[in-house]
Amino acid sequence: MELTMKDAIWQVMIDIAVMGGLLLIGEMLRANLKILQKLLIPPAVIAGFLALFFGPKSPVGMGVLPLSGSFGTYASVLIVLVFAATPLGDKGGSGKGLTRETGGMFFNITGIAVLQYAAGLTVTLLVLQHFYPAMSSAFGLMMATGFYGGHGTAASVGANLENLGIMNMTDLGNTCATIGIVGGILTGMILINWGTRAGHTRYVDDPKELPLSMRTGLIPKNEQASAGKSTINNICLDQLGFHLGLVLLCSFAGYELCELFKKFSKSSFGMSIEIPAFCLSLIVALIMNMILNKTGVQEYVDRPTIQRIQGTCTDFLMISGIGSMNTSVVMSYAIPLVIICALGFFINWIWFFVVGSKCGTKDWFERNMMVWGHATGVAATGVLLQRVVDPDLKSRGIEDSGIADVFNRPIIIGLQIIPPMLMFTMGDLIGGWASCGISWAILIVMWIIAYAAKWWVPGIKVSSSHSDGTAGMRKAEA
């Protein structure tokens, strides 16, 4: 048993080392191949496809990489760390809550997520199940889980659904996430090129003006800056170790609470109900951050260092998610996946103009690129696309989306947890329709609140740029 455990630990090290090597190769390819620079494909996505084609699930029989059969499990574990890191180091902001601008961003970025769930379930229940009677209603969750949630959420929610007896959801979720992040960047650049030609961008006239560091990923020496500040004396404890300890503690507590709730629900209700560990780790981290703020310890927590840990986990989980996809499952669901993902891009496009363009009075296009990236991949994709049209980040899209994410987290987590429970307890069809109805109801209520609070003003007209540099500034009709 000791030898088996030793071998398992070494295999974990080998898996991480291989993923690290693939990440370096991905960055090298991005730095040297013009096509990858033009498409802005993240090195983690490149590494994920390398792991897929040369790993244990290679569709072409070239599994030469020494990755374990449990390689795909890392994504569902790493997402726990990503969520645990989300609130840590947050000093609490201005305390003003939702202003008109942040309220507009809240409705914009939350509403598209809810619409993805509602539309995906509706099309699955009304159309796809008519042609594929054996298809579970849970398939309708996969587009939103992959697009808005990303690979980590797809892996975690997919595993949760599979624990409830609904198979292949992890592969389908990761496929949607991959299509979302790659397609989100490509379609985002198409939108940006259109927006600059139409005069809707305020800070750039040509997206080809991208700095070298954004194209290659390598920052020139004269532009390099510190990735964080030292808050712990290295003689006592390493800076990274201290911050990693905070993240791991919250992650461990979230996992333990998940296991305890499963045992409690089994003994109390006769069935094991799982609240995903990543959700509970976020709750633990929110409580810890509040305690840190109240006790003054927060001054020793460096938010940029926490973000570096979060970003690293995100890169590795993307490699795990893409590299572990079962291509035979993907091909058997090829037509439904094309339909559901095409639907995702279509509703994102409609939302971009109908809602996003009317959720603020300034820099509508720049702020909307943050939402576009967030709604098709991960927050990092939104940051990337916003920086293309707003290099100096003057539009506050990133800051306001961060505030919006704090307020929308209960809604998003609820949509990740409740539908699987309803499908398990009420049956696939009834639970699917109940989840669909709940999603539409949430969206309608949000829309009414947004209209009443003037977070969404349908009278706002989109304007083109002018010689005085006032592109993106609009007035509402009287």
**Mean pLDDT along residues 193-201:** 87
Q: What crossing angle do the helices spanning 73-85 and 303-323 adopt, rounded to 10°?
A: 160
Enumerate the β-bridge partners of residue 460: 476
203 within 8 A of 269, measured Cβ to Cβ? no
Which DSSP string corresponds to 239-290?
HHHHHHHHHHHHHHHHHHHHHHHHHHHHHHHSS-----HHHHHHHHHHHHHH
- Closest C-alpha among 388, 244, 249 to residue 308: 244
User: 97: which 2 tokens?
Assistant: 């809550």
Element (H, E) at 353: helix 334-354
Q: Pick the residue with more confidence: 465 or 390?
A: 390
Task: Give the side-chain half-sphere CA count within 13 A for 125.
Answer: 20
Q: What CA–CA distances, in Å, run from 197 to 206, 300, 306?
A: 8, 46, 38
Element (H, E) at 318: helix 303-323
The rounded distance, in Å, linking the Cα atoms of 180 and 185 is: 8
Percent of the chain at pLDDT > 90 equals: 54
What is the pLDDT confidence band of residue 405, given thresholds at 50, 70 and 90? confident
What is the pLDDT confidence band of residue 319, given thresholds at 50, 70 and 90? very high
The rounded distance, in Å, linking the Cα atoms of 129 and 109 is: 29
Backbone angles phi, psi at 476, to 5 degrees: -85, 150
User: 77: which 2 tokens?
Assistant: 């574990």
pLDDT score for 97: 56
Within 124-238, residue ranges assigned H as helices are 129-131, 139-147, 150-163, 169-198, 212-216
318 within 8 A of 48, measured Cβ to Cβ? yes
The rounded distance, in Å, linking the Cα atoms of 279 and 312 is: 19
**Mean pLDDT along residues 27-49:** 92
> Worst-scoring range by mean pLDDT, 238-252, 394-408, 431-445?
394-408
pLDDT score for 469: 46
Three-state secondary-structure class, residue 223: helix
pLDDT score for 333: 95
Q: What CA–CA distances, in Å, run from 24 to 28, 29, 68, 439?
A: 6, 9, 20, 41
What is the pLDDT confidence band of residue 95, given thresholds at 50, 70 and 90? very low
pLDDT tens by residue, 46-64: 999 999 999 998 988 888 9
pLDDT score for 209: 65
Cβ neighbours of 468 (radius 10 Å): 7
pLDDT score for 61: 83
Which DSSP string corresponds to 380-443?
HHHHHHHHHH-TT--S-HHHHHHHHHHHHHHHHHHHHHHHHHHHHHH-HHHHHHHHHHHHHHHH
What is the pLDDT confidence band of residue 322, given thresholds at 50, 70 and 90? very high
474 within 8 A of 361, measured Cβ to Cβ? yes
